[in-house]
Amino acid sequence: MCGLLAFFSARGDAGAHRDAISSALECLHHRGPDETGVEVVADASGHFADAVFAHKRLAIIDVASSQEPLAYANGRYLLTFNGEIYNYIELREQLIREFGAEFATQGDGEVIVAGYHYWGEAVLKRLRGMFAFVIWDREQRRAFAARDYFGIKPLHYLQTADGVYLASEKKALLPFSAAANTGDAGIDTANLSHYLTLQYVPEPGTLHRGINRIGSGESLTWSAAEGARVRRWYRPVFHPGPVDDPQKLYDRIRETLRESVRMHMRSDVPVGSFLSSGIDSTAVVALAREFNPNILTFTVGYDVPGYSEIDVAQDSARHLGVTTIPTKIGPQDMIDALPKIVWHLDDPVADPALVPLYFVAKKAAEHVTVVLSGEGADEFFGGYTIYREPLSLNAVNSLPDSMQKGLRAVSKVIPQGVKGKSFLERGTTPIEERYYGNARMFTEEEKRQLLRRYDPSVRYTDVTAPIYAEVPELDDVTKMQYVDLYTWLRGDILVKADRISMAHSLEVRVPFLDREVFEVASIIPVDLKLPPRSDATKYAMRQALMDVVPPPIVNRRKLGFPTPTRVWLRGEMYEWARHVLATSGAGELLDLSYAMRLLEEHKREEADHSRKVWTVLIFCIWHAIFVERSLDPGIQRNQSALLTKPVVGSMVS
């Protein structure tokens, strides 16, 4: 694991940028406190300084070696890499067997660059893991960067007249971005609008114009002559169909998950696991303890009735025979941590679950370097309750178009709040217009009131329409899963998993988000994900884990790190929220008096506006840190081992 920052010069003068790169690297220290490396790279002739490679290393595998940038093929290639390749041992053996490949380390990074040397870009589909990496070919003077199948590990890029910059986090690119130095004028207002709808900024953009993300399953190539080109190398394909023997499917699901957990436990440092009240994390722990009976688990909760998962997690831990270490947090803990959390996020994510995750990751980092987690199970296996909506609406949306048109007209004359109005509206609205992910914050009408410069041409369909267009053949439930893979999963779930864990120099591994697990999940028919005449979700997965997970958990609904923000914004956090809105400098972008009215209505219990108010509060904190620069998030750093080398190649710095 590491935080990477690389620069490739369009002019062959990379050495002149070394100090600026080295300085910017320090904001990634949390991603790799074990080692620091900054190297200037010459071309094969030694006449030009083509690149600067900088990294912060968190040593997980081959701790004593595998320093980066890692050279291969007599220095032709250099690699910097963030992530883990779980099948690196098997790939190493294959490369030795087929090509006589030689290796100088025992790490997984060298397998990537050796595979690139022998297989070219086809190496990507052989990798099993989470990764974001950059390779420089000194002979061809060409950069190749790629991101994993589902977007577990981040990779940002910025192209300027000087060349191209790539980094694990956006904040490392801000010193080189003109947009970052123009205040509100540098903000991508379309993505701000999307944030207010979705509660996150959708890929590939960011809130700073010009800084983008390489998408999940995408790669980037760059040369001085051609600039940056991004292409997709992987697209997940769902192909659900009839199943003759469901039990065989359940057995395959269970054994595939077991193998994925086994692979994800490969490490030279201690591995623990998060444990909540739901089946996903409990299944991971249950399978992990087969390989390490002494695995430590970590959970989080509150002293607010109905929100804490600690009691259920402790019951599961006792049933499984493992130790769980609980953490409790209160409203002041949340207030104090938010500036740090928002700084680590780069762009605002208005998911309150970020806060408990921050504290449980902090506790875990006191005991282990790696934790397993249950992200991805809902998107792969059909775990969200909203996925049942197409089934409940089938009586309407299966009618002929003419009848649906008539029912739509009827719904418009039914008064707001009258039973049946919403059902008819949703049932006569195509899934492509109705569903845009799990989070639905502000409506278009609400954004007209909130945004100072509302643009009606910016709609959520700008994000989702291209995704729907790729899967016209799928049923509506599976379309929703596919949309979530490209929106909710990588925009919210994986951003918070990566940024919040790495804030504590903790590596989170996600065994459900494995290519082999997806292959079996992709064939499950709708009736085995969401059986009719039932409110169950992830049915096939639950059946597969019936003898693995404690019986009380198998059919328990997932809480998903719930937070009592609804309660606290009416009580302990109310004055804090008022102060944030009253003093924010984001008023040129948002009508904060409108947000204040929402807070007051929430306080008086006239409505539950907690998620909307939270969305504005998180943006105000983000704006204070990254635009106004009036809020110090209080990030501290400990010096790591410094392994700086002047130049790779024959050039002398």
Q: Is 316 annotated as a binding residue?
A: no
27 is catalytic: no
Distances 431 to 390, 402, 406, 428, 473 between C-alpha atoms, Å: 8, 17, 18, 9, 13
Q: How far apart are CA 114 and CA 81, in angstroms?
A: 13
298 phi and psi angles, rounded to 5 deg: -140, 135
| Number of CB atoms found within 10 A of residue 315's CB | 15
CB 298 within 8 A of CB 285: no
Q: How far apart are CA 403 and CA 421, in angstroms?
A: 16
CB 219 within 8 A of CB 121: yes
For the four alpha carbons of 62, 81, 513 and 196, in that order, the dihedral sign comes to positive
CB 228 within 8 A of CB 173: no
∠ CA 315-514-495, nearest 5°, is: 75
Q: Is 243 annotated as a binding residue?
A: no
Q: Which residues contact 39 (CB under 8 A, 6 or more apart)?
A: 52, 53, 54, 69, 78, 644, 645, 646, 647, 648
- Let me know how many helices (H) and strands (E) the chain has, helices first: 28, 19
CB 649 within 8 A of CB 74: no
For the four alpha carbons of 300, 305, 307 and 312, in that order, the dihedral sign comes to positive
Q: How far apart are CA 50 and CA 141, in angstroms?
A: 7
Q: How far apart are CA 363 and CA 271, in angstroms?
A: 14
Q: How far apart are CA 138 and CA 181, in angstroms?
A: 33
Q: How far apart are CA 411 and CA 405, in angstroms?
A: 10
Count of residues making up the chain: 653
Q: Is 260 annotated as a binding residue?
A: no
For residue 192, give both structure tokens.
């701000």
| Residues linked to residue 39 through DSSP beta bridges, in sequence order | 53, 645
For residue 319, give both structure tokens.
């049933």
Catalytic residue among 2, 95, 114, 350: 2
Active site residues: 2
Residue ranges for the known binding site for L-glutamine are 108
Residue ranges for the known binding site for ATP are 300, 373-374
